[in-house]
Structure 1
Amino acid sequence: MHDDEVIVVGGGLAGLVAARHLADAGAAVTLFEREPAVGGRVRSTHEQGFTYDRGFQVLFTAYPAAQRELDYDALDLRSFTPGACICREGHRSILSDPFRDPGSLTESIFNRDVTVTDKLNTLRLKRELQSRSTDSLFQGPDRSIEAYLDSRGFSRKYLENFAAPFYGGITLDRSLSTSKHVFEYTFKMLSAGKTVVPAGGMGAISAQLRDRAEAAGATIQTDRPVEDVQADGDRVSVDLGGETVTADAVVVATDPAAASSLTDVESIPTDAHSCVTQWYALEDTGDLDAGKRLMLNAESDAPNQLVDHTIVAPEYAPDGTRLLSATFLGERVESDEELAVLAHDTLASWYPERQFASFELRHTDRIEFAQFEQPPGFAETLPAARAPAGPVYLAGDYTRWSSIQGALESGKVAADAVREDRQ
C-alpha cells in the first residue's frame, strides 16, 4: 500500500483502529473528525478533579479485539467485582459467581431473589459457553434473550430481578427483546475476563488508540466535519465544506446516521436505544455494602442501575468525595434536576439506614444514539465493510454488533479490506 492515500472519516474507536492498521500497512492516512476530540461515544470529561465518562461504559478484558488493539498495562485498569447487588425498597442482596468471587459464596448461595435452579442453570450455561469459540456465538438460529432464558429453564424471578436490569444496562433494552447472540457473547466475556475502567476514565482508551495511530504515521485532524463523499472511478472525493480532497480509498467510520447519508447504504441500522447518565457527588461517609458491584434496580428503569465509581476507581473523584452514576433508559422527558431527585430517592429507599444529604448533581449526558437496536436476526442484515460503491468502506460497530468489541473489530476488518483491494 505504499504511496496509497487513504482518508478515514470519523475518529471513534473504529476509525482510530482503521487509521492505525492502514498506516502500519504503509498508506498515507489522514483522519478527519468533526468533534474537537476523538473517541465518539467513548469519551471522558475531566472537571475539578472529577472524571465523567460519556454514559456508563465499561471494558470487558476478554474482548479479543481489545486484547489485540489495547495496551492494558498502560491503561492502568480498575476492576469491578463479578455479579451485582439486587436492590429494591428496603432490600439489597448480592448475587455473584462464587468461583470468581469467593467472598460472595454465602450471600449468593442464600440469595432468594433467584431460585436454586437459576443458580445451577447459570453454572451450566457458563460451562457450555466456555467450550464454544467466540466466532460461533453469532451463528445459528436466533431468538430474544427472554425466550432464550425461558427455554433454558430460568425462572421469572431471575428474568425480572437480575437479567432485566443487568442486561438492561448492557443492551439498553430492559425488555430482554435483544438477540440471544448478544447475550451469549457478553455472558462468555463476563465469565472469561474482568469488567474494568481505566484509572483515567474510558476516554483513555480513545486517547491510547489515537497515540497508536499517530505513532504508525496517521495524521489526525479534529474539528474537520466531512459533508460529502463521492466515488469517481478509482478515486474518491471528500468535501470538507469549502475544500475538496481526494484519495485512493475512504473509510467511513462515522455514526450510523452520518454513514448512511455519506454512503447511501440503506442497510446501516439507524433505529436507536437512548439513555441518560448522571453523575453525583456526595461526602465520603463510607463504602456502600454493594462493594465494587453494580446496584441493579429490580423495580424500574428510573434509574436502571446505580454505580459507586469511587470504590472501583478512586481516581474518578477528589479525596473525601464519593462519585456515583445513575443510568436511565430511553429518552427521558424529565429535567436533569427531576432525574437527580429520582436517583436520590431510589438510593435512599435502598439504604434507609443511611443519609444522603450531600447528594449533588454534577454532570448529565443525554445520549440519543447510544446503541443501535439488535433484535433477533439483526446480524444477518448488517452491512459489510465493502457495502458502499467504489473504493469506499464502512467501519463501525453497526457492521458487527453494538459494543466496544464490535467497533474495534470493524476498524481492522475495514483496514484489511482496503489493503486487500489495493494489492
Structure 2
Amino acid sequence: MPSLNAGPPPDVLVIGAGLAGLACARDLRSAGIDARIVEASDGVGGRMRSDRYEGFVVDRGFQVFNTSYPQVRRRLALRELRLRPFTPGVLVHTDHGRLRFGDPTRGPRRLSALPAREVTVRDLLALGVLSARDALAPARVLKRAGERTTWTALAAAGFSDGFVETFFRPFLSGVFLEDELETSSRVFHLVWRSMLRGTLCLPTAGIGAVPALLADALPPGALHTETPVEQLTDGGALLGSGTEIGARAVVVATGPAGVAALLPGVEVPPYRVVTTYYHAAGASPLGEPTLLTDGRRRFLNTCVLSDVVPGYAPAGRSLIATSVLGTDTPGRESRVREALAEAYATGTEGWEPLTVRTVLDALPAMAPPQPLSRTTRVGPGRYVCGDHRATGSVQGALASGARAAREVLRDLGR
C-alpha cells in the first residue's frame, strides 16, 4: 500500500472507515477529489464488523441488513453479499405461549390467533391501516408528518395497550435499543416503511461484508488502517505517529468518542448500549430463520444465526445470538440462558457460552425532536458525519457521509 505521505497531500482527509466515512470518501473520489481515509483499527466497518471465533462468524453485536434503504440500493451490488433472508415476521414469547406475527403478503403463515385480551379486531384494522400508509406513502410525506413519541403515535393510531405490550414494545425495543417507545414517531414510520418494502437479511460472510464491499471500490492508497489521529491541526491532522498530514478539508467520521476528542464542542446525542451473548449448541433450538422476542422483556431478541446463514457455525453446530440492553454484568449470562430455555422450550444447560460482545455506542438516542438530517459543516474546513447526524441506521450513516461529501465539494468550489 502506498504511504500516506507519498506524493502531494490529499485534498480531503476522512477520519474513520465506518459506513459514513467510506460513503463520503467514495463520493469525493468519484468527483475527482483526492480523498484519503485513515482508520485507527485494523479494518473497516466501525461497529459493523465480523470476527472469526473458534470456527464461528461472530458479528460485533447482533445486526441485520435491510435491502430497501435507498443508499444501500444505490451503492451496493447486493448479489455480491450473497444475502440470506430472515422469515418475514417475528415470534414473541409470552406467558400464553409463543405467538407468530407474520406478513401474510409474503408467505402462507398469517398473523397468529391471539387471546382477545391481547389483541382485538380494532388492533388488526389499525395494523393494516398503519402498514398500508407507511408502505405506500412517499418517504417525504412521512418525513414531514407531525412528530411525537412512538408510544403516543401507536396510541393515536388506535392500538390497544395489550397489543402494544405484546407486539410493538418487545419488537421495537430491539430495533431502537430502548424499551420505553420514546423514539421519534417520524423515525418509527420510516423504519416501519423500510421493513415492509425490503427484506431483512444477513450476508453469508457476516455483516462486516457490507463495509468491506464499499471499501473494495476505493483505489489503492485511499485507505490506511492502523493509523490513529491524535488531533486536528490548522492545516490538517496530527497522526498518532507524530506525522502531520495536510489537507484542505478534514471530515471526522468516527464514533461519538472520536468526535468529542477531535471536535470538542460539537454536540453528539447519547448512545444506546447493547450486549449480545453468543451461545453454541449441538442442534438448533428453533429450526427456522426467525427473530424471537420476549414479552417479559428479559432480553431484546434472540436468533439462531446458523438457521439464517448455515456458514455462521461449523458443521454440526448451531450459533444463537441474544441481545440485552446495557452492559454485561456478573450472573447476567446465566439469567439470560434461563430465559432462553423458557422461550425456546428446550434445555440450555449444554449450551456453550461462546463469547460476549458489548457495543457502547450501538445506536444514537432518537427521541423527539429528532432532525432527520443535519449539516456536516462545523467550521471552516471541518466536517463531521455519522448516524448521529441523521438517523441511527445504515441508511442514516450512508446518507450523512453523502451529505458531507456534497458540502465539502460545494466549499471547494466543485
**Length-normalised TM-score, structure 1:** 0.91
Are residues 1:401 and 2:391 paired?
yes
Q: Which residue of 2 aligns with 1:117?
A: 122
CA separation of 1:328 and 1:15: change in aligned 2, threshold 3 A: same
CA separation of 1:251 and 1:322: change in aligned 2, threshold 3 A: same
1:149-160 correspondence to structure 2 within 5 Å:
149-160=154-165
Larger relative helix fraction: 1
Q: Which residue of 1 aligns with 2:334?
A: 341
Write the letter of the residue equivalent to 1:111: L
Are residues 1:364 and 2:361 paired?
no
Structure 1: segments with no counterpart, 5+ residues? none
CA separation of 1:253 and 1:304: change in aligned 2, threshold 3 A: same
Please point out which of 168, 172, 176 is paired with 1:171: 176
Write the letter of the residue equivalent to 1:308: V
Write the letter of the residue equivalent to 2:301: Q
Write the letter of the residue equivalent to 2:347: Q
**Cα contact 1:89–1:350 (8 A) shared by 2:** no
Are residues 1:331 and 2:336 paired?
no
Are residues 1:98 and 2:101 paired?
no
Indicate the percent of aligned positions where both proteins have the same amino acid. 32
Q: Which residue of 2 aligns with 1:221?
A: 224
Please point out which of 138, 145, 149 is paired with 1:140: 145
**Cα contact 1:65–1:408 (8 A) shared by 2:** yes
Q: How far has the Cα of 1:206 moved from its partner?
A: 1.3
Are residues 1:126 and 2:125 paired?
no
CA separation of 1:90 and 1:323: change in aligned 2, threshold 3 A: farther
Q: Which residue of 1 aligns with 2:50?
A: 44
Q: How far has the Cα of 1:186 moved from its partner?
A: 0.8
Please point out which of 361, 369, 377 is paired with 1:377: 369
Write the letter of the residue equivalent to 1:260: A
Secondary structure of the structure 1 residue equivalent to 2:61: coil
**Cα contact 1:277–1:364 (8 A) shared by 2:** yes
For 2:10 and 2:45, the matched residues in 1 are separated by 25
Secondary structure of the structure 1 residue equivalent to 2:391: coil
**Cα contact 1:229–1:238 (8 A) shared by 2:** yes
**Cα contact 1:39–1:203 (8 A) shared by 2:** yes
- Number of residues of Structure 1 aligned to a counterpart in Structure 2: 403
For 1:140 and 1:238, the matched residues in 2 are separated by 41
For 1:312 and 1:120, the matched residues in 2 are separated by 31
Please report the RMSD computed on the Cα atoms of aligned residues, expressed in angstroms: 1.9
Q: Which residue of 2 aligns with 1:245?
A: 245
Q: Which residue of 2 aligns with 1:209?
A: 214
Q: How far has the Cα of 1:265 moved from its partner?
A: 4.4
Write the letter of the residue equivalent to 1:315: G
Write the letter of the residue equivalent to 1:416: R
**Cα contact 2:10–2:36 (8 A) shared by 1:** no
For 2:320 and 2:300, the matched residues in 1 are separated by 13
CA separation of 1:179 and 1:218: change in aligned 2, threshold 3 A: farther
**Length-normalised TM-score, structure 2:** 0.93
Q: Which residue of 1 aligns with 2:3?
A: none
Are residues 1:294 and 2:300 paired?
no
Q: How far has the Cα of 1:351 moved from its partner?
A: 3.9
